[in-house]
Structure 1
Amino acid sequence: MQPVHQRIALIVGGSSGIGLATAKLLLERTIPTVIVGNRSRKLDQVQSELASFGSVESFQANLYEPQDVQSVIDFSGEHARHIKYLVNAAGHFKPTPFFDHTGDDYDTYLDLNRALFFISQAVAKNMAANGGGSIVHIGSMWAQQAIKATPSSAYSMAKAGLHALTQHMAMELAAHKIRVNAVSPAVVKTPIYEAFIDPPHIDATLASFDSFHPIGRIGTAEDVARTITFLLSDDAQWVTGAVWDVDGGVMAGRN
């Protein structure tokens, strides 16, 4: 095995939303970070913006294309750099009634989970070869609680899978000094809502969910990113297999 020259963070889905906010926090902590995203122009823009925060690289990959997923796996398998931190932040969310789901709808979630599964496997092997690491999956409140206003059966099934994966990975990888946790956000203002809400109406639509949260407002990407960076850090070194509700109190009760 080649000697380790650098310990880095890999953020899958790091070009926007919670992934981007997490990248900023990690860079501020002087952790070199590689962000994976789908759109080359967006990646170039984000890399330029993040450069002032620290050492950042971008990696273009469409997680619905097997060859692109394999390229991320191959990158993760290069043990000369220790991927000490992994955040699986890539996501897709488009509320659809159960009766209206098509096979393509379902596969959108299933294929994304498959990509994250095998990327996580490759990164975990890198971590095991280099002395350990920490992984955080981004799950969802919808995996734990159905919300009538946002019918999301296929999405929730996929996120529940990530919650279960968190526990199984934590158990199997603990002997390799790898911790695995997840966060479970409620409504957070991120670009993911642009898939089904016209951009001019996003702020007003999301604001209508403020009172849904006992804390009185929807979340920001930074709210969730702060918890992710804590779970990644040695400050949480006795936490593994946990799914943390980062949801403004929604799972405690709703207004």
Structure 2
Amino acid sequence: MLFSKSGFAMIVGGSSGIGLATAQQLINNHVRVVIIGKNAEKVNDAIALLNSPKAEGLVADLCKKADRGRVEKYINNHEDAVSYLVNSAGYFNPKPFVEHSEEDYEHYMTLNKSIFFITQAAVSRMKQARRGAIVNIGSMWAHQAIKATPSSAYSMAKAGLHSLTQHLAIELAEHNIRVNAVAPAVVKTPIYNHFIKPEQLSTTLASFDNFHPLGRIGTPEDIANSVMYLLSQQSNWVTGTILNIDGGVMAGRN
């Protein structure tokens, strides 16, 4: 058995992209899933797409303290503990360092703050159950700067998430809780909609194909496959890892 039948999985940022692809694979493996998204319509569409009694949606804007509190309350009051937590919520809007506003900075850091405290609530329940697996969705940009996409605030936030991963892995190992992260390169997800027009999205992202030694950008399923490995019992001796899922970008350049 690769996944526990007790407890449930929570996907923070599960209404689209990597989070939704992971939710689908968890359901395929008979795991109950709660997806969290800030847009009610998108959450409802995701639940309809998942089309399973094992799928539940929770609408919450993680930049609002009250909404974050509702997620924490849900975790604290649920009859079952969170067995699997995937922190997939993201925001990406590259711009030069000197053009970042305080609002930009706060957006990234408030999102990290919500992930921190939602994870704290989940870990409290995991410790009671003496089991758990957490995967954080980090980023290649936390490892390496890319001139075409200046991302100082985003990279600072993701580097913090990588560091949190390693610190929690050490602290929680004695409680049988594993904490890992993945660091994707360019993946075709809605995260780029903040600064690329929808009609230009496919063409713009395709221009990054050759940036990756394997010759293409990633898909949400590419990343979800690795997230599933890190959640499952197949990786029960893996914790504190930042796994590069990047088409070879960190290995070198074409």
Amino acid at match of 1:20: L
TM-score (norm 2): 0.97
Amino acid at match of 1:16: S
Partner SS for 1:90: coil
2:144 aligns with: 145
- After superposition, where does 1:1-255 map in structure 2 within 5 Å? 6-52=6-52, 55-78=54-77, 80-255=79-254
Deviations 1:195-243 (A, max 9, x none): 0000000000000000000011000000000000110001000000000
* Equivalent residue letter for 2:77: E
Residue type of the alignment partner of 1:171: I
Give the Cα separation in 2 of the matches to 1:105 and 1:48.
33
Deviations 1:10-46 (A, max 9, x none): 0000000000000000000000100000111111111
Query: Aligned residues, how many?
Result: 250
Q: Aligned partners of 1:164, 1:42: CA distance in 2, in Å?
A: 31
Shift of the alpha carbon at 1:132? 1.1
Secondary structure of 2:34 counterpart:
strand
Q: Which amino acid aligns with 2:148?
A: A
Q: Distance in 2 between matches of 1:58 and 1:37?
A: 8
**CA separation of 1:40/1:79 partners in 2, compared to 1, >3 Å: closer, same or farther?**
closer
**What's the TM-score, normalizing by structure 1?**
0.96
1:6 shift after superposition: 4.3
> Are the counterparts in 2 of residues 79 and 130 from structure 1 also a CA contact under 8 Å?
no
Instruction: Tell me which stretches of 4 or more aligned residues in structure 1 moved more than 3 Å.
Output: none
The one-letter amino acid of 1:49's match is: L
CA distance in 1, matches of 2:44, 2:78: 26
User: Which deviates more, 95-104 or 5-14?
Assistant: 5-14
Q: Contact 2:135–2:181 at 8 Å: present in 1 too?
A: yes
Deviation at 1:78, TM superposition (A): 2.5
Unaligned 5+ residue runs, structure 2? none
Matched residues in 2 for 1:101 and 1:49: separation?
Answer: 36
Q: CA deviation at 1:79?
A: 5.3
Query: Is contact 2:81-2:122 (8 Å) kept?
Result: no
Residues 6 and 83 in structure 2, CA contact (< 8 A), matched pair in contact too: no
Tell me the distance in 1 between the aligned counterparts of 2:99 and 2:45.
Answer: 37
> Which string of whole-angstrom CA distances, capped at 9 and with x for unpartnered residues, describes residues 127-175 of structure 1?
1111210000000000000000000000000000000000000010111
- Name the CA distance, whole Å, in 2 between partners of 1:49 and 1:102: 37
Shift of 1:82: 1.9
The secondary structure found in structure 2 opposite 1:85 is strand
Distance of 2:208 and 2:112 partners within structure 1 = 27
- AA matched with 2:69: Q
Letter in 2 for 1:38: K
1:81 counterpart SS class:
coil
| 1:79 and 1:126 in contact (8 A); partners too | no
AA aligned to 1:15 is S
Q: Give the partner amino acid of 1:8.
A: F
CA displacement at 1:191 relative to structure 2:
0.4
